[in-house]
Structure 1
């Protein structure tokens, strides 16, 4: 007799595993701990085999029967359902290893040692926010230029043109890494010309340089500044040391050696990634 939902639901654990047969090779295996597993027993090429159909109640009686019937159809077509399931699992694992996100994270790990913490965080965050949700799970070899262009233009639409350009550059690097490691054969991001597809930006506006004759007045203006004291002191220190704004803003007390009259800026905060000593 075929099983009913009530029988399956009310099946109790016993001291030893036991089976409740549904028919056509399918049965419910009840374990001593109360766990219930759907199984399908079949013969293929003269060998007796068992196929796992799922765990109850995640897989209902009706769903288990559907899986059993699909397996029977495979057998009738000369396909071993157990081997077919293994092949599908292997294919899924390969696809996951070759997804854009998997390759991108592998590329990121290969480049990370040469980056500062701040830059590395920006790179990964840009991919996690704008790229992975769109194409992360897709096999990298199946992604084309129109898909990449859609991502870039969506970012640009937020009013962050430079971010869109950086995402395109980083995606190019990921695809190039994929080519080198055998996961894809072409770089669809390289086919996209940012200057052509993105709207023209206002350009970078550089501040006018201070002439030598203007320095005395600049220093007087800094000394007369009535705003935040920290800002005034930072401006004076920048004028004396010629460090970049970011190097000044991110300075930590641990970098200053009063006894040696030195300020040691670590390499990860320098543009050229070389340590720098000032105030010598």
Structure 2
């Protein structure tokens, strides 16, 4: 029997949800809390499906029947009403438009929730500020390759070729996020491959010979600046970490009795926890550093604000004070020094050296099988390297 408005108004909720049927698959679902929801039951490709048609009384009986009949016509033409409804919603969503700046903020927030490093997010924010003056108010789905090229050319004009390359990648990532979330349909940055100057790959400067490295270590030993900065440089040489990993290190990460430093995953480039064995010399550096320990939990707090770590430039500036220019040595260069000289020694597995550097195997198949940390060998490697550095000091002194 077909429904009437009077019958619907007189229907009272029950303890459990129940249906009152109309005709041709249309019914009203009455929930215990009083809501009344229109549903259309149908079969498509042999499967029973449901289509939501709205709530009563916002959608009245007559309107619900009209929606049902529209769905039945789609079925007659071979279309699934539910799929067509979703397609229409996506199209409406796309037509609403949303600016590049709004999508960029969403994208950054997504990466923040994923636990990306604060430094990574700061760089991303900075790159976005380069794009926003031109692209910020653009509807993200209407951005074309030429629009992006205008932004890249303005950066390129200042000979910042590496920045232009990174900016293209960042804009592309933001637009692909818009595509994945239904706000755009194509990535215009794909058409710009080869359109901007490719930057020359520059390796960070490093001292790769024993005498040269020994001379630097002697200079660090007599460093006249902030004592904690000198100790930080010694630890960079001994442990070969990424400078940011050491700069932001906390005392709680060091297990001195077990002689291990545990770097949490949120601070590693590969987003995996990393542990490094501590040699006798590294332990001595940490014990000396403890003499300068204040109320901060950071190993190297800023002199201006003990809650924050020293700046990114502190360690490189210390090298400059000692007379080493940027073409000779950088804070990151200690990693290359360790890698080069440890590999040249020929007594350590390359995998152990790579694990010591916190690198992850690039080959997917090989990585699936090479999961070990080579810990015992790395413990020996760590002490060998610390002793080698001492011998390099002596070697450099003999040349004076």
Counterparts of 1:123 and 1:166, CA distance in 2: 9
Which one of 263, 268, 273 corresponds to residue 261 of structure 2? 263
Counterparts of 1:202 and 1:138, CA distance in 2: 32
For 1:123, the equivalent position in structure 2 comes to 124
For 1:167, the equivalent position in structure 2 comes to 167
- Report SS of the residue matched to 1:278: strand
Offset of residue 267 of structure 1: 1.5
The structure-2 alpha-carbon separation of the partners of 1:213 and 1:188, relative to structure 1 and needing over 3 Å to count, comes to same
Conserved 8 A contact 2:94-2:184: no
- Report SS of the residue matched to 1:131: helix
Q: TM-score, normalised by structure 1?
A: 0.56
Offset of residue 188 of structure 1: 1.1
Offset of residue 186 of structure 1: 1.8
For 1:61, the equivalent position in structure 2 comes to none
For 1:253, the equivalent position in structure 2 comes to 251
Counterparts of 1:159 and 1:250, CA distance in 2: 32
User: Can you list the C-alpha shifts for 1:229-253, whole angstroms capped at 9, x where unaligned?
Assistant: 3332122212222212222223233
For 2:107, the equivalent position in structure 1 comes to 107
Conserved 8 A contact 1:256-1:263: yes
Larger relative contact order (Cα-Cα within 8 Å, sequence gap ≥ 6): 2
The structure-2 alpha-carbon separation of the partners of 1:157 and 1:250, relative to structure 1 and needing over 3 Å to count, comes to farther
Counterparts of 2:235 and 2:104, CA distance in 1: 41
What CA RMSD, in Å, does the superposition of the two structures yield over aligned residues? 3.1
Q: Trace 1:1-280 onto structure 2 (pairs within 5 A).
A: 98-112=98-112, 113-127=114-128, 129-193=129-193, 195-198=194-197, 201=199, 203-208=201-206, 210-211=208-209, 219-280=217-278
- Report SS of the residue matched to 2:241: coil
Conserved 8 A contact 1:95-1:139: no
Counterparts of 1:148 and 1:219, CA distance in 2: 47
The structure-2 alpha-carbon separation of the partners of 1:256 and 1:224, relative to structure 1 and needing over 3 Å to count, comes to same
- Structure 2 stretches of 5 or more lacking a match? 1-92, 279-400
Counterparts of 2:178 and 2:207, CA distance in 1: 44
User: Can you list the C-alpha shifts for 1:143-186, whole angstroms capped at 9, x where unaligned?
Assistant: 11111111112223344332222111011112222223332222
Q: Structure 1 residues 102-111 or 204-213, which shifts more?
A: 204-213
Which structure shows the bigger proportion of residues in strand conformation?
Answer: 1
Counterparts of 2:153 and 2:251, CA distance in 1: 43
